[in-house]
Amino acid sequence: MNRIIYFAITMLFSSFGLMAQNTSASGMGNIGIEDNRTVDPEQNAKWRSGEYPYSSKPFDMWEIGVSLGHPFIVGDVEADYFSGLGYGLHLRKALNYNISIKASFSQLHTKGLDARASSISVMEVEKTIRQNNLSSRLAGVESIHRNYKTTVTTGAIEVALNLGNILFHKPSTNWNFNLTGGMGFEIPKTKVNLFDGNANYDWASVSEGLNLTSRDDRKIARERLADLLDDSYETEGGVEKTIRALGDEKSVYPMFTASVGVTRKINDRFNIGLSHQAIFADNDLLDGFEFRSAADRSNNFDLIYHTALSLNVNLGSFEKRTEPLYWLNPFAPMLHDLAEVKSRPQLDLTDTDGDGVIDMLDQEPDTPPNAPVDVRGVVLDSDKDGIADYMDKEPFSTPGFDVDSDGVAQMPDNNYLTEDEINSLVNNKMDNIKTEWFLPMVNFDLNKYYVKPEFYGSLHHVATVMKNHPSLEIVVKGHTDNRGDVQYNEVLSYKRASAVIDYLVERYDLPRERFMIQYGGETNSLIPELKDGYDLDKKEEMQAYLNRRVEFYVATPEDKEMERPEGPDAGEGTPGSSKSGSKYSGNKNSGY
């Protein structure tokens, strides 16, 4: 038996080794729960988009657990130091984030020995002696040492109050604390060992020469008693027929349970627990006897205590369900959204150079006064002759001719052009116009790569341009802000560009071959940023939203599609946004 216990405990604790090998799939609490893993996906989608104040309750897993422990009875007879073995099975389901319901079954084996002798005159009033008609068999015996071996089968429905997942400073917990109470039934089977075959034991030899007021001597007496007794336990324990119990033999007793416990998460699938349970029933014969002595009639019921280790498993698929709600932080979505709102850029209308483009978007913040600029604040050179419009005496020079230092085209003496020259000039002009088309940008939330609804209109504009010019090919280039490591950001920028292409291909039936994915990671920032972590109060960090973007360019012969970069999976997507954004990766790296 000791080998079995040692093996079971070793297996439970060895499960801690899985912690180093398993990454939490929902370690961010319930921040990344997809709509299809909630009770009402439509409500959850409205909540995510800000159209409804409450998220939908997640579909969470059931927990099943097995336990192994040490039970003992507090009654009229001392329990052994190692009094027995208990094992159990439970099934648990969360009702909400703090309350769950639990169905449990257990079988408890326990025994006890009394080092102090009890007078037979007291024993004769005991139900075990009277109901088994043992007075005549014990004739001539002055005293006996009480003992018992009891097996108790229990079943209960319990309510557990969880105290470990209400968190304000981190998204999830690895520890949980539980208070549990419930009611059910117990079926005890108690036996005592009073006879050595058909003869009486030599009870007097147990305490011979010992002072039983001494703790050490009582220990010796217990050892003598254990050596004296065989393993027959031939006598049925008494039955209290006046108490409330079920069955003809009063064998099924209503009971109440109360326990306190702590659980430690190994990963999203497994956790282990340690609990201490008390079992109350109106039964004073669990240890086979009612009274300690004639003067000390003791309590009118015996208590069972059970300390146990359990290994618990969450049942179900993580594609459809979350881990049980008592492991999720109910405040995580609210705190995450609040942080995201705080991190959004503040509108700053400052225009230092007075060119009509605010500094937040101005790529040339020191444009000369009164110089015409494009939408990015870059001085215009309409005819692409290398002379900015504000210095160009001929801003729209005839294409195909050299210009002087003032931007004036140097035309030939004759004013006639051949047909080939005219066609060449027209084609060059059209190419220049197409190359410089300005296409809108698409921005992304922190560490996200799904397309936000507010940019559907911008993408409609891109699709319209492409449909009107069927030969046009577009470069789609993704970017991130400068938080997170370089590899992570390159993968995230690639996935942002891929999500936008998937959206355009699926929504507008555009050929995938007309798009080229490119990525820039955290390079080519529109807004300068500081590399100092997650200080949301810094202006550069709040402006990082503008750097989390996808840009569009008309492809040139030099442009090539870029393969997916090496690195870990990155970012968070939402179902239905695109193929690339159909799943939440659960990666806990810090890319943005």
pLDDT tens by residue, 62-109? 999 999 999 999 988 888 778 899 999 999 999 999 999 999 999 999
Nearest CA to 291 among 243, 253, 238, 249?
A: 238
One-letter amino acid of 556: T
Q: What's 123's DSSP letter?
A: H
Write down the residue that tokens 């088994």 correspond to. Answer: 132
Any domain includes 354: no
Could you tell me which of 543, 531, 541, 501 has the C-alpha nearest to residue 519? 501
CA 278, 281, 286, 288 dihedral sign is positive
Asked if residue 9 is part of any domain, the answer here is: yes
Q: Are residues 208 and 322 in the same domain?
A: yes
- How far does Cα 324 stand from its chain's mean position? 9
Average pLDDT in the 572-585 region? 45
pLDDT at 553 over 90: no
Q: List the structure tokens of 82.
A: 């190692």
pLDDT score for 426: 54
Residues 447, 326: one domain? no
Let me know whether 462 and 325 are in one domain.
no
Give the pLDDT of residue 577.
Answer: 39
Tokens of 74: 């507090």
Given this model, what pLDDT does residue 298 score? 58
Is 590 inside a domain boundary?
A: yes
Section 487-502 average pLDDT: 92
Give φ, ψ of 519 to 5 degrees: -140, 150
In three-state secondary structure terms, 310 is strand
Q: pLDDT at position 412, please?
A: 66
d(CA 305, CA 70): 8
Task: Please tell me whether residues 75 and 199 are part of one structural domain.
Answer: yes
Q: Is residue 351 part of a domain?
A: no
CATH number of the domain that residue 502 is part of: 3.30.1330.60
pLDDT the model gives residue 386: 78
Question: Last residue of a domain, which of 287, 305, 339?
Answer: 339
Domain harbouring 67, CATH code: 2.40.160.20
* pTM of the predicted structure, to 2 decimals: 0.58
Report for 145-159, 360-374, 542-556: range of highest mean pLDDT: 145-159
**Residue 540, φ and ψ in degrees, nearest 5:** -60, -40
Q: Is residue 366 part of a domain?
A: no
User: Which residue, among 148, 116, 536, has the nearest Cα to 346 in the 3D structure?
Assistant: 536
Do 324 and 442 share a domain, yes or no? no
Question: Concatenated DSSP letters for 72-113?
Answer: EEESSSPEEEEEEEEEEEEEEEESSSSEEEEEEEEEEEEEEE
Q: Same domain for 478 and 334?
A: no
pLDDT, tens digit, for every residue of 105-137?
999 999 999 888 888 877 877 888 888 898 888
Classify residue 204: in a domain, yes or no: yes
From first CA to last CA, the distance across the chain in angstroms is 56
What is the per-residue pLDDT across 2-56, written as a single tens digit (0 to 9) for each? Answer: 444 444 444 444 433 333 333 343 444 456 688 888 999 889 888 877 788 888 8
The mean pLDDT of 204-232, rounded to a whole number, is: 90
Positive or negative, the CA dihedral 58, 64, 68, 70 is positive
Closest CA to 260 of 122, 345, 136, 162: 162
| Confidence at 416, pLDDT banded by 50, 70, 90 | low
Q: According to the model, what pLDDT value does residue 355 have?
A: 77
Q: Is 450 found in the same domain as 560?
A: yes
Cα–Cα distances in angstroms (integers) from residue 133 to residues 66, 125, 130, 289, in the given order = 42, 11, 5, 15
- 430 falls within a domain: no
Domain count, the chain: 2
Give the pLDDT of residue 78.
85
Burial category of 141 from C-beta neighbours within 10 Å (exposed 0-12, middle 13-18, buried 19 and up):
middle
Q: Which has the minimum average pLDDT: 45-49, 115-119, 309-313, 532-536?
A: 532-536
Residue positions counted in the chain:
592
Lowest mean pLDDT among 226-235, 378-387, 531-540: 531-540
Question: Given pLDDT bands bounded at 50, 70 and 90, which one contains residue 535?
Answer: very low
Domain assignment present for residue 356? The answer is no
pLDDT on residue 306: 96
| pLDDT band at 183; cut points 50, 70, 90 | very high
Say what the pLDDT of residue 516 is. Answer: 93
Q: What single string gives the DSSP state of each residue in 518-551?
A: EEEET-S-SS----STT-TTSHHHHGGGGGSEEE
What is the spatial order of strands in the sheet that 442-443 belongs to?
A: 442-443, 549-554, 474-479, 515-521
Residues 6+ apart with CB under 8 A from 239: 127, 131, 249, 250, 251, 285
Q: Residue 486 is part of which domain span?
A: 437-592
- Span 428-443, mean pLDDT? 61
pLDDT digits (tens, 9 = 90+) for 259-276: 999 999 999 999 999 999
Residue range 180-208: average pLDDT?
92
Residue 556 has pLDDT above 50, yes or no: yes
Residues 213 and 333 in one domain: yes
| Residue predicted with more confidence, 560 or 101 | 101
User: Which pLDDT value is given to residue 258?
Assistant: 97
Write out pLDDT tens, residues 379-388. 877 777 778 8
Asked if 566 and 519 count as a contact pair (C-beta separation under 8 A), the reply is no
Rounded to 5 degrees, what are φ and ψ at 155?
A: -145, 140
Most confident of 24-38, 363-377, 379-393, 569-583: 363-377
Query: What is the per-residue pLDDT for 70?
Result: 96
441-474 as b/e, with b when 16 or more CB fall inside 10 Å?
ebbbbbbbbbbeeebeebbeebbebbeeeeeebb
Residue 220's SS3 state is helix
Domain end point (choices 339, 363, 392) = 339
pLDDT at 22: 38
Residue 400 vs residues 220, 383, 386, 397: alpha-carbon distances, Å: 115, 10, 13, 9
Angle at 157 between CA 156 and CA 162, to 5 degrees: 120
- The answer to whether residues 92 and 100 touch, using CB atoms and an 8 Å cutoff, is yes
Tell me the average pLDDT of the chain.
80
| 441 and 585 together in one domain | yes
Which residue among 289, 321, 339 closes a domain? 339
